[in-house]
């Protein structure tokens, strides 16, 4: 039996505990087993997808692992497994340890109690002098590489299966009619997003899950067209992954973003040290109380990518304050994630600059429509395209829709209608905006009144 103190510690998260107790039903579990010393237990729990979640726990130090995408630790499936064991609701027969449990054991670091020193303190200099470097075990390294390759292949195959499900789902929506799809938009997207999560296509699942919010935020007359565009972009992503599953940019769209260490070590990572200006800092609430922190930077130099996007996440319970001030200028190095058109980056350090160090932004360069077309030709699945707009002003039509209009009258683009204050009717020397859903979201601008910030 498990020590009652373990259950008391799990009670710290009441929501997860209640969910875990609900899962402690033998009908939901299969392949239950335990190691020879009965301290290691495992099982498979039925989830929302075709594949069950694999759950294991080490009762000696309460280490645990589950293949579900939950951000809670321990998740409800681990709690359910522990409840099964604690209350003897199902047998855990001794069995050979499965490969997926052995793989977890080989990669984890169990808690260890440091030995108690009873004699005099050792001579550290002498210890360092006599210590010999531990020889690398080539067989262990080969096993580690083979295990990692096997795990990567299994993940890729799982993603391919999930993309097959997504393709079939898109075909079903078109066959049944877009009117039916729009009438049950949120439920249908959430259902297929759960299947994608089961197949380890976590990033793509989040995109599908957020698709209804993007569509419903548009005027009613534009939602059907936006739904067709969104479904088309999903098809393009699935085709790109099948063609190049190992390409970092494509894998980032489907699975998850690379770690900071892997980005910095990648040979295609672009590093740019220059002067930057903070255009805007935004906080976007997502599901599961997750908050995305978005910072847009403008390159004040003439070389390298014009914009940089810094993206970080935090939990709603630990929401952090602003890290940047709009209009702030600094010198720093940004390492860009490998991509056809580098945008997302990692800030490696910054040094503040005087506000008057550089008064002007760089010139506009390419016309906005050329930037949009080139970006979408290279990355047709891109949701946001940052733009530098030439001289122009904001205007409003009879339907109270705001437009940005070039000073020479050759171009007019619709603007998200939350324009306030000095933006309206002011001549803008230069402006920076995000092109998304066939509309502009203004971030900052230069005018005769000085710098204008939005939001």
Give whole-number Cα distances, 131 to 35, 123, 138, 190, 251, in Å: 36, 12, 21, 57, 43
Give whole-number Cα distances, 199 to 170, 272, 293, 394, in Å: 17, 36, 27, 46
- Look at residue 96 and tell me whether its pLDDT is greater than 90: no
Strands 344-352 vs 307-315: parallel, antiparallel or unpaired: parallel
Task: Tell the residue number behind the tokens 């645990």, with chain if given.
Answer: 64
pLDDT of 147 reads 80
- Helices (runs of H) and strands (runs of E) counted in the chain: 13, 16
Which of 53-57, 105-109, 196-200, 375-379 has the least mean pLDDT? Answer: 105-109
pLDDT of 69 reads 77
Q: 273 falls in which pLDDT band (50, 70, 90)?
A: very high
Question: Mean per-residue pLDDT for 370-374?
Answer: 93
- Start-end of H helices in 87-137: 99-107, 124-130
pLDDT of 113 reads 45
Q: Which residue has the higher pLDDT, 75 or 309?
A: 309
- Look at residue 247 and tell me whether its pLDDT is greater than 80: yes
pTM over 0.75: no
> pLDDT for 281-333, tens place per residue?
888 777 667 788 899 999 998 888 999 999 987 776 555 656 788 888 999 99
High-pLDDT (> 90) share of the chain, %: 33
- Look at residue 124 and tell me whether its pLDDT is greater than 50: no
Q: Which residue has the higher pLDDT, 443 or 105?
A: 443
**Long-range contacts from 211-219, C-beta under 8 angstroms, 24+ separation:** 212/185, 212/186, 214/383, 214/437, 215/185, 216/185, 217/437, 218/437
What would you measure as the largest C-alpha separation in the chain, in angstroms? 88
pLDDT of 380 reads 92
pLDDT of 27 reads 67
**Token pair of 393 as six digits:** 């002003």
Question: Mean per-residue pLDDT for 377-401?
Answer: 88
pLDDT of 310 reads 93
In our burial notation (b when 16+ CB lie closer than 10 A, e otherwise), range 275-306 reads: bbbbbbbeeeeeeeeebebebbbbbbeeeebb
Q: 360 falls in which pLDDT band (50, 70, 90)?
A: confident
Is the distance from CB of 296 to CB of 443 less than 8 angstroms? yes
- Look at residue 144 and tell me whether its pLDDT is greater than 60: yes
Residue from 431, 396, 430 nearest 416 by CA:
396
Q: Which residue has the higher pLDDT, 227 or 452?
A: 227
Question: Mean per-residue pLDDT for 255-283?
Answer: 89
- Look at residue 121 and tell me whether its pLDDT is greater than 50: no
Question: Mean per-residue pLDDT for 33-46?
Answer: 81
Task: Tell the residue number behind the tokens 């993940």, with chain if given.
Answer: 155
pLDDT of 6 reads 47
Rounded Cα distance between 382 and 245, Å, is 18
In our burial notation (b when 16+ CB lie closer than 10 A, e otherwise), range 388-425 reads: bbbebbbeeeeeeebbbebeeeeeebebbeebeeebee
Which of 88-97, 184-193, 365-374 has the least mean pLDDT? Answer: 88-97
Question: Mean per-residue pLDDT for 87-115?
Answer: 73
pLDDT of 13 reads 47
Q: Which residue has the higher pLDDT, 425 or 121?
A: 425
Task: Give the Cβ contact number of residue 144 at 10 Å.
Answer: 13
Give whole-number Cα distances, 388 to 36, 99, 299, 361, 419, in Å: 65, 54, 11, 10, 18
Task: Tell the residue number behind the tokens 């050759």, with chain if given.
Answer: 410
Is the distance from CB of 48 to CB of 205 less than 8 angstroms? no
- Look at residue 20 and tell me whether its pLDDT is greater than 70: no
Q: What is the mean pLDDT of the chain?
A: 82
Q: 22 falls in which pLDDT band (50, 70, 90)?
A: low
- Look at residue 369 and tell me whether its pLDDT is greater than 90: yes
């Amino acid at each position: 039996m498990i020590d009652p103190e373990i259950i008391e510690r799990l009670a710290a998260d009441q929501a997860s505990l209640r969910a875990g107790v609900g899962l402690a039903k033998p009908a939901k579990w299969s392949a239950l087993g335990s190691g020879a010393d009965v301290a290691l237990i495992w099982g498979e729990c039925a989830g929302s997808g075709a594949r069950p979640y694999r759950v294991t726990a080490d009762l000696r130090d309460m280490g645990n692992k589950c293949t579900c995408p939950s951000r809670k630790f321990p998740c409800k499936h681990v709690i359910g497994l522990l409840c099964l064991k604690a209350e003897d609701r199902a047998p855990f027969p001794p069995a050979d340890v499965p490969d997926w449990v052995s793989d977890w054991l080989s990669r984890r670091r169990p808690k260890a109690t440091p030995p108690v020193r009873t004699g005099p303190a050792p001579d550290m200099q002498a210890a360092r002098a006599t210590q010999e470097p531990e020889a690398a075990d080539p067989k262990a390294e080969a096993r580690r590489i083979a295990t990692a390759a096997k795990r990567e292949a299994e993940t890729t195959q799982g993603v391919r299966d999930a993309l097959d499900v997504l393709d079939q789902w898109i075909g079903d929506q078109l066959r049944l009619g877009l009117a039916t799809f729009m009438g049950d938009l949120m439920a249908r997207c959430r259902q297929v997003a759960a299947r994608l999560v089961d197949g380890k296509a976590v990033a793509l699942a989040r995109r599908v899950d957020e698709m209804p919010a993007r569509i419903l935020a548009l005027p009613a007359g534009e939602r059907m067209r936006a739904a067709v565009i969104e479904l088309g972009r999903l098809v393009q992503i699935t085709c790109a992954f099948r063609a190049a599953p190992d390409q970092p940019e494509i894998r980032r769209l489907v699975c998850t973003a690379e770690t900071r260490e892997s980005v910095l070590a990648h040979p295609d990572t672009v590093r740019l040290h220059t002067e930057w200006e903070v255009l805007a800092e935004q906080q976007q609430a997502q599901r599961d109380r997750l908050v995305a922190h978005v910072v847009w930077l403008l390159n004040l130099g003439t070389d390298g990518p014009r914009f940089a996007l810094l993206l970080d996440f935090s939990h709603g319970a630990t929401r952090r304050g602003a890290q940047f001030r709009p209009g702030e200028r600094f010198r720093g190095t940004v390492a860009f994630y490998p991509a056809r058109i580098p945008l997302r980056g990692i800030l490696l350090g910054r040094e503040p600059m005087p506000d008057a160090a550089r008064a002007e932004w760089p010139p506009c360069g390419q016309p906005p429509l050329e930037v949009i077309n080139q970006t979408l030709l290279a990355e047709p699945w891109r949701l946001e395209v940052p733009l530098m707009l030439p001289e122009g002003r904001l205007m409003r039509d009879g339907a109270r829709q705001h437009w940005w209009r070039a000073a020479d009258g050759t171009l007019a683009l619709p603007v998200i209608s939350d324009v306030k204050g000095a933006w309206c009717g002011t001549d803008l020397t230069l402006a920076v905006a995000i092109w998304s859903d066939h509309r502009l979201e203004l971030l900052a601008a230069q005018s005769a009144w000085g710098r204008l910030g939005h939001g």
